[in-house]
Amino acid sequence: MNERTEKVAVCPGSYDPVTNGHLDIITRASRTFDRVVVGVVNQPIRKKKTLFTVEERISFIENATAKLGNVEVQAFYTLLVEFARENGASAIVKGLRAISDFEYENEMAQLNYKLDPGVESIYVFARPEYSFLSSTGVKEMATFNGDIGDLVPA
């Protein structure tokens, strides 16, 4: 009589572009949760201008996660905790590369907790080989014709 409920997590981000570091966090989340919803932020009020459209970013992530049977990708336009609730998620999974990531993410986690204490923020440390990797760095390298082949999914 012990019915197990599905454990769902969201992995939010701008993913502009998706990197191998992002893919590693998504893959690790997919091993821990029954279902992972990758949420691609599409907020016109954000300060950062994106290089790729939300549709392109979704397509890149869908291609990169195609072999992961429990991952789906959606755009979202709402508060993160609302997106989590809409998808039945009990957790928000994000990667941390450095202490600066922690400082920002801790603030966001506290705000999210205030909005919905039922949605936990879970942080996964970046693997050493991805600890330097950021979408901003990848875009900058690509702008100057740098080789980004090892930094983004094929």
Q: What angle do CA 122, 124, 127 make, to 5 degrees?
A: 175
Residue 29 falls inside a structural domain: yes
The share of the chain scoring above pLDDT 90, in percent, equals: 85
Residue 150 lies inside a defined structural domain of this protein: no
Q: What is the pLDDT of residue 4?
A: 73
Residue 153 lies in a domain: no
Is 83 within a domain?
yes
Residue 39 maps to a domain: yes
CB 17 within 8 A of CB 60: yes
Q: For 26-71, give the secondary structure using H, E and C.
A: HHHHHHHCCEEEEEEECCCCCCCCCCCCHHHHHHHHHHHCCCCCCE
CATH number for 114: 3.40.50.620
pLDDT digits (tens, 9 = 90+) for 23-34: 999 999 999 999
Cα–Cα distances (Å) from 5 to 50, 103, 104, 128, in that order, read: 37, 32, 31, 34
What integer pLDDT is reported at residue 83 of this predicted model?
98
Residue 50 sits in which domain range?
A: 8-143
Q: Name the stretches of the chain with pLDDT < 50.
A: none
- pTM, 2 dp: 0.92
Domains of the chain: total: 1
- Catalogue the active-site residues: 22, 48, 97, 135
Tell me if 46 sits within 8 A of 5, measured CB to CB: no
Say if 63 falls within a structural domain. Answer: yes
- Asked if residue 102 belongs to a domain, the reply is yes
